[in-house]
C-alpha cells in the first residue's frame, strides 16, 4: 500500500506540475487569441474539433487503456499494435479529408473544407502516437510526460499567437493541434523506436480485443454524450452562438483539467495492480474521492459567483454572452470532477463492460437533455441546464453500478464521504451570495475576483481545519520540512 501511495504521489506531482502550468499557459494563449479572433472563428474550430474527435475514436479503438492494463504483452505485440495504428490512421485520415466537403455542406460553412483537410494531418499523427503514449504511461514515466507535454504546449502556443497577429485568422487555431501532434511523434520516436510492419497485427489485437472492445464502445457513446450539444448548436443556431457556448464549455472543463485529469492518468497504471483486490481498490479510491470532493464542490460554487469576472478578465467584454451559460455549467463542475475519475476505476477493475453501459446510460440522458433544451427552448442556455441535470443523474447511476455491480459492496461509505464537502460548499455559497450583495456594482473586476478568492480560501481552509478533515498545519509543516531536506 505504501508503494502505491508513493507512486501515486509522484505521478500526481509531475502530472499536476505540467497540467497546472499548461492550464495557466493555455488561459494566457486563449486570452490573447480571443482578443484577436472572432467568435465565428472559434465556432468553426469547435465544429471541426468535434468532428475529428469522432474519427479519432476509430483509430484509437480503446487500444491505449488495453496496453496499460494487460501485463503479458511482448515487444512484438507492441510493434504489431503500433503498425495497426499507423495503417488504420492513414485510412481514417484519408476518409476525414474526403469528408470535408460533406461536413462543410452540412453546416453551411465553406471554411470548414480547408480546416478539416488540414486537421487530417493531426488525425494521422494522433493515431501514430497512441502506442508510444500508452507505453510511457504503462512505464509510469510521469515526469518525462509532464516535461514533454509542457514543452510542446509552449512552442505551439507561441507559434499560434504569432500567426494570429500576422493575420492568419481561423488558421492560427489549427497550429496547436497539428504542430503538437507532429512534435510529440518525433519525441516519442526517440523514446520507443517501434518497428513498422507490413501487417495489420491482428494476432496481437486479439489479445486486447476483449478488453478494448467495450472501451471502444464506451468511447463512441461518450463522444456523443460530450459533443452532441456543439453539433446541434452549430447546425440549428449559428457559428457565433456556438463560439460563445464553446468558450463557456471550455471554461467549465478547466477545473476538470486541473483536478481529475491530473489524477486519472496516474490512477489507471497504478490501480491496475489492484485488479484482483476490490477491497483495496475501493478503499484507495475513496481517499481520492474525498480529496476531489473537498476541492471540486467548493470550486463549483466559487465559479458560479465569479463567472462574470473570469470571462471578462480572461477573454474580454466581447465574450460577455458566454457568462450566463458558464454560470449554469459551473454548477456541474463538482460532480464532474469526481465522476471523471470513475472510468479509471472501471478500467483498473477489468470492468470495461460496466463502463460501456454507464456510458450508454449517460449518452441517453445527455441526448434527451440537449434535445429538450434546443428544440423546446431553442437556446444554448436551456441546453446548459439540461446538461447540468443530466450529469447529476449520471453521477448517481455510475456510482450505483460501481459499488453494487463491480465492487459488490454497499455504496453508503461513498455518500458518507460527500456529506462534509457538501456542507462546506453550502457555507461558501451563502457567504459569496452575501458578498455579492455588499460589493459595489462598479467595483474593479480584478479586485472583485481577488476579494472573493480570499474569502473562499479563508472559508475553505478554516472549515477543513476546524472540522479536522485534514490537518492543514501538519501538511504545511511536512511540506516545508521536505523542502528543507532537499
Query: What pLDDT is stored for residue 385 in this prediction?
Result: 93
Cβ 265 vs Cβ 15: under 8 Å: yes
Query: What pLDDT is stored for residue 329 in this prediction?
Result: 92
Cβ 93 vs Cβ 127: under 8 Å: yes
C-alpha torsion 347→51→243→258, nearest 10: 20
201 pLDDT above the threshold of 70: no
Over the stretch 371-428, which tens digit does the pLDDT of each residue have?
A: 898 888 888 889 899 989 998 998 998 898 888 888 888 888 899 999 999 999 999 9
Over the stretch 275-289, which tens digit does the pLDDT of each residue have?
A: 666 777 778 788 888
Residue 55 pLDDT class (50, 70, 90 cuts) = confident
**Between residues 334 and 236, which one has the greater pLDDT?**
334
Gap between the Cα atoms of 28 and 315, Å rounded: 9
Min mean pLDDT across 96-110, 142-156, 435-449 is at: 142-156
The C-alpha cell that represents 469 in the structure block: 478533515
**Between residues 445 and 199, which one has the greater pLDDT?**
445
Closest CA to 97 of 77, 124, 79: 124
Query: What pLDDT is stored for residue 101 in this prediction?
Result: 94
Give the CA radius of gyration of the chain. 23
135 pLDDT above the threshold of 60: yes
Residue 145 pLDDT class (50, 70, 90 cuts) = confident
* 308 to 5, 297, 318, 330, 479: CA distances (angstroms): 39, 19, 12, 12, 35
Query: What pLDDT is stored for residue 188 in this prediction?
Result: 80
Q: Does pTM top 0.95 for this prediction?
A: no
- Residue 167, sorted as left (phi over 0), alpha (psi -120 to 50) or beta, turns out to be left
Q: Looking at 372-444, list the stretches that DSSP marks H as alpha helix, in order from N- to C-terminal side.
A: 377, 380-401, 412-438
Over the stretch 307-343, which tens digit does the pLDDT of each residue have?
A: 999 999 988 888 888 999 999 999 999 998 898 888 7
Over the stretch 152-183, which tens digit does the pLDDT of each residue have?
A: 888 888 898 999 888 888 888 888 889 988 98
Gap between the Cα atoms of 183 and 195, Å rounded: 19
Over the stretch 59-85, which tens digit does the pLDDT of each residue have?
A: 666 677 777 766 677 778 778 888 888
Query: What pLDDT is stored for residue 325 in this prediction?
Result: 92
Tell me the pLDDT of the chain averaged across its residues: 81
* 93 to 61, 85, 115, 169: CA distances (angstroms): 15, 12, 13, 24
Closest CA to 323 of 315, 85, 356, 124: 315
The C-alpha cell that represents 425 in the structure block: 460548499
99 pLDDT above the threshold of 70: yes
Considering the chain, what percentage of its residues have pLDDT values greater than 90? 20
Min mean pLDDT across 118-122, 192-196, 281-285, 363-367 is at: 192-196
Query: What pLDDT is stored for residue 293 in this prediction?
Result: 92
Query: What pLDDT is stored for residue 423 in this prediction?
Result: 94
Residue 304 pLDDT class (50, 70, 90 cuts) = very high
**Between residues 275 and 187, which one has the greater pLDDT?**
187
196 pLDDT above the threshold of 90: no
53 pLDDT above the threshold of 90: no
Give, as one character, the DSSP assignment of residue 318: G
| Dihedral sign for Cα atoms in the order 167, 169, 173, 174 | negative
367 pLDDT above the threshold of 70: yes
Q: How many other C-beta atoms are found inside a 10 Å radius of the C-beta of residue 17? A: 16
Residue 267 pLDDT class (50, 70, 90 cuts) = low
Gap between the Cα atoms of 262 and 255, Å rounded: 10
pLDDT, mean of residues 293-307: 93
Q: Domains of the chain: which residue ranges?
A: 237-253+283-486
Query: What pLDDT is stored for residue 413 in this prediction?
Result: 87
Amino acid at each position: 500500500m505504501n508503494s502505491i501511495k508513493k507512486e501515486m504521489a509522484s505521478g500526481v506531482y509531475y502530472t499536476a506540475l505540467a497540467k497546472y502550468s499548461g492550464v495557466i499557459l493555455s488561459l494566457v494563449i486563449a486570452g490573447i487569441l480571443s482578443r484577436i479572433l472572432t467568435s465565428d472563428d472559434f465556432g468553426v474550430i469547435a465544429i471541426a474539433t468535434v468532428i475529428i474527435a469522432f474519427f479519432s475514436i476509430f483509430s484509437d479503438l480503446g487500444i491505449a487503456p488495453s496496453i496499460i492494463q494487460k501485463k503479458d504483452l511482448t515487444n512484438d505485440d507492441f510493434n504489431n499494435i503500433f503498425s495497426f495504428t499507423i495503417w488504420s490512421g492513414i485510412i481514417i485520415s484519408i476518409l476525414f479529408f474526403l469528408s470535408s466537403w460533406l461536413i462543410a455542406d452540412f453546416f453551411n460553412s465553406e471554411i470548414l473544407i480547408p480546416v478539416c483537410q488540414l486537421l487530417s494531418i493531426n488525425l494521422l499523427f494522433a493515431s501514430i502516437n497512441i502506442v508510444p503514449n500508452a507505453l510511457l504511461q504503462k512505464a509510469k514515466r510521469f515526469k518525462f510526460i509532464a516535461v514533454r507535454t509542457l514543452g510542446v504546449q509552449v512552442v505551439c502556443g507561441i507559434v499560434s499567437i504569432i500567426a494570429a497577429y500576422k493575420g492568419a485568422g481561423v488558421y492560427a487555431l489549427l497550429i496547436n493541434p497539428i504542430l503538437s501532434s507532429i512534435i510529440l511523434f518525433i519525441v516519442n520516436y526517440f523514446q520507443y523506436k517501434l518497428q513498422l510492419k507490413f501487417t495489420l497485427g491482428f494476432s496481437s489485437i486479439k489479445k486486447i480485443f476483449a478488453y478494448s472492445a467495450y472501451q471502444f464502445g464506451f468511447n463512441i457513446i461518450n463522444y456523443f454524450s460530450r459533443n452532441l450539444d456543439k453539433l446541434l448548436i452549430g447546425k440549428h443556431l449559428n457559428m457565433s452562438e456556438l463560439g460563445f457556448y464553446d468558450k463557456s464549455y471550455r471554461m467549465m472543463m478547466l477545473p476538470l483539467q486541473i483536478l481529475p485529469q491530473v489524477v486519472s492518468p496516474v490512477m489507471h497504471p497504478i490501480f491496475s495492480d489492484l485488479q484482483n483486490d476490490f477491497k483495496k481498490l475501493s478503499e484507495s479510491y475513496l481517499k481520492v474521492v474525498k480529496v476531489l470532493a473537498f476541492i471540486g464542490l467548493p470550486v463549483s460554487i466559487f465559479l458560479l459567483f465569479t463567472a462574470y469576472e473570469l470571462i471578462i478578465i480572461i477573454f474580454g467584454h466581447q465574450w460577455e454572452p458566454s457568462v450566463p451559460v458558464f454560470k449554469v455549467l459551473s454548477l456541474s463542475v463538482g460532480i464532474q470532477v469526481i465522476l471523471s475519475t470513475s472510468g479509471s476505476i472501471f478500467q483498473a477493475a477489468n470492468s470495461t463492460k460496466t463502463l460501456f453501459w454507464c456510458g450508454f446510460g449517460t449518452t441517453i440522458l445527455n441526448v434527451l437533455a440537449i434535445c429538450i433544451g434546443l428544440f423546446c427552448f431553442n437556446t444554448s442556455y436551456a441546453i446548459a441546464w439540461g446538461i447540468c441535470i443530466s450529469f447529476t443523474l449520471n453521477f448517481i447511476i455510475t456510482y450505483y453500478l460501481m459499488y453494487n455491480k463491480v465492487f459488490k459492496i454497499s455504496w453508503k461509505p461513498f455518500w458518507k464521504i460527500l456529506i462534509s464537502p457538501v456542507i462546506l460548499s453550502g457555507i461558501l455559497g451563502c457567504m459569496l451570495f452575501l458578498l455579492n450583495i455588499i460589493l459595489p456594482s462598479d467595483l474593479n473586476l480584478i479586485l472583485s475576483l481577488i476579494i472573493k478568492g480570499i474569502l473562499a480560501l479563508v472559508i475553505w481552509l478554516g472549515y477543513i481545519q476546524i472540522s479536522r478533515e485534514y490537518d492543514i498545519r501538519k501538511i504545511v509543516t511536512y511540506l516545508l520540512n521536505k523542502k528543507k531536506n532537499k
